[in-house]
Amino acid sequence: MYRRYSIIGGVLLVGVLGFLAACADQVSEQESSGVQVPVFEVNPLWPKPLPNHWVLGSTIGLSIDSRDHVFVIHRASTIDAANELNVLHEPASAECCAPAPPVLEFDPEGNVVGSWGGPGDGYDWPSSNHGITVDHMDNVWIGGNGPDDGHILKFTRDGNFLLQLGRPGVGTGSNDPENFGRVAEVSIDLGGDEVFVADGYLNRRVAVLDIRTGALKRYWGAYGNRPDDAPVPAYRPEDPPAQQFRSPVHCAEISDDDFIYVCDRASNRIQVFERDGTFVTEAFVAIETLGSGSAWDLAFSRDPEQRFIYLADGSNKKVHILDRETLEVLTAFGDGGRQPGQFIGVHSIATDSEGNIYTTETYEGKRLQKFVFQGLGTGVAADQGVVWPN
């Protein structure tokens, strides 16, 4: 049996002018229950302006390393060349701007301290890079969701090529033992022995690799089933849960206590597994969401128990905060927009050692944001989820 949850309730926001859009019933319920949730304050001045007149395209991956350095990956191909890349015109029509290198590294203060990426000798750079993960050795793993991207790349933190797993354009589906199918992202277990692959935009599986050799050790589909690539009908909330993942399988994150949390994005659900692929439970979030779905990426709070899950929801332009034990949605923050604390296509999410949240945005969002952890709160503060600086 599985447990099924659905929360579509109202969200409270504090705007730049201090406007509070209140939902009295939800506030009263939280105040009476004494539920505490993490509260964050957006830092509108982080990161610092990029050097060299650089601008970002769709910012499609995010990871935090052992030094709390923030790595992002973006797609320069999504930048408006006519209006944003004037310095590249022949002749140059203005002083600004140029595309940043695909991978940027920021220090905790928000300075760019490293940059690299793109095609090179010995490997196939993805036609559409997607996802970036820094492992416990500070090596960097990159996937791709382009039409022929069937591989994963591994680099040093400085961009020196180490390993390619799989080849583009030759995959045979979700049961292929050597190639992948448009990988969304990977995660690394706490001991650093295994790589968990959200595979992905074409395939419909979680694949587990040996971190040293890259050999495929095991894989599974929804509910631990053997993956099946037969078409799955488009999601409708009134239908029974799909027995296979819908595309894309957008994340596969491992908790410190060895559970795998999988984002079945277009099905609006998180599925939880043991390391061997045994299905444990699932939760549905914002179940009325159609199209691109609500479960885009997730990260865990940094307390020892990892009590909370932060779920990026690009369709509804918010971050849901869930109780990790029950998978109940407690609150959310964000809304559609381009002001600090708002989102256009919030795509990736990660936490640093101090519990701060970082997000990146795809589509026309094209940015990185930082939300500073303020502790736990109840009542109005809890329901807001995020507060603005004075």
What digits encode the pLDDT tens for the residues 121-151? 999 999 999 999 999 999 999 999 999 999 9
Q: Is residue 4 domain-resident? A: no
Tell me: the pLDDT tens digits for 310-344? 999 999 999 999 999 999 999 999 999 999 999 99
Residue 24 has pLDDT above 70, yes or no: no
DSSP 48: P
Q: Is residue 1 domain-resident? A: no
CA 145 – CA 164 distance, rounded (Å): 15
> Maximum CA pair distance of the chain?
65
Residue 66 has pLDDT above 90, yes or no: yes
- What's the pLDDT at 330? 95
Q: Are strands 368-377 and 183-188 parallel, antiparallel or unpaired?
A: unpaired
CA 355 – CA 166 distance, rounded (Å): 35
- What's the pLDDT at 387? 57
How many Cβ atoms from other residues are within 10 Å of residue 20's Cβ? 12
Q: Which two tokens stand for residue 30?
A: 């939280």
- What's the pLDDT at 94? 83
Q: Is residue 163 domain-resident? A: yes
- What's the pLDDT at 273? 98
DSSP 123: B
Q: Phi and psi of 28, rounded to 5°?
A: -60, -40
- What's the pLDDT at 19? 24
- What's the pLDDT at 175? 97
Are residues 308 and 329 in contact, defined by beta-carbon separation less than 8 angstroms?
A: no
How many Cβ atoms from other residues are within 10 Å of residue 233's Cβ? 8
Over residues 366-375, the mean pLDDT reads 97
Q: Is residue 241 domain-resident? A: yes
Q: Is residue 8 domain-resident? A: no
**How many domains in the chain?**
1
Over residues 23-33, the mean pLDDT reads 40
- What CATH number is given to the structural domain containing 260? 2.120.10.30
CA 253 – CA 255 distance, rounded (Å): 7
- What's the pLDDT at 191? 82
Tell me: the pLDDT tens digits for 197-231? 999 899 999 999 999 899 999 999 999 999 999 99
User: How does residue 7 score in pLDDT terms, banded at 50, 70 and 90?
Assistant: very low
Residue 27 has pLDDT above 60, yes or no: no
Tell me the range of 22-26, 94-98, 224-228 where mean pLDDT is highest.
224-228
Length of the chain: 390
Residue 329: partners with Cβ closer than 8 Å, 6 or more residues away: 5, 7, 9, 285, 320, 321, 322
Q: Is residue 5 domain-resident? A: no
**Selected residue with higher pLDDT from 369 and 383:** 369
Q: Is residue 169 domain-resident? A: yes
- What's the pLDDT at 384? 54
Range of the domain at 60: 24-387
Q: Classify 30 in phi/psi space as left (phi over 0), alpha (psi -120 to 50) or beta.
A: alpha
How many Cβ atoms from other residues are within 10 Å of residue 387's Cβ? 20
Over residues 45-66, the mean pLDDT reads 97
Q: Is residue 318 domain-resident? A: yes
- Burial class of residue 269 (count of CB atoms within 10 Å of its CB; 0-12, 13-18, 19+): buried
**Mean pLDDT of the residues in the chain:** 89
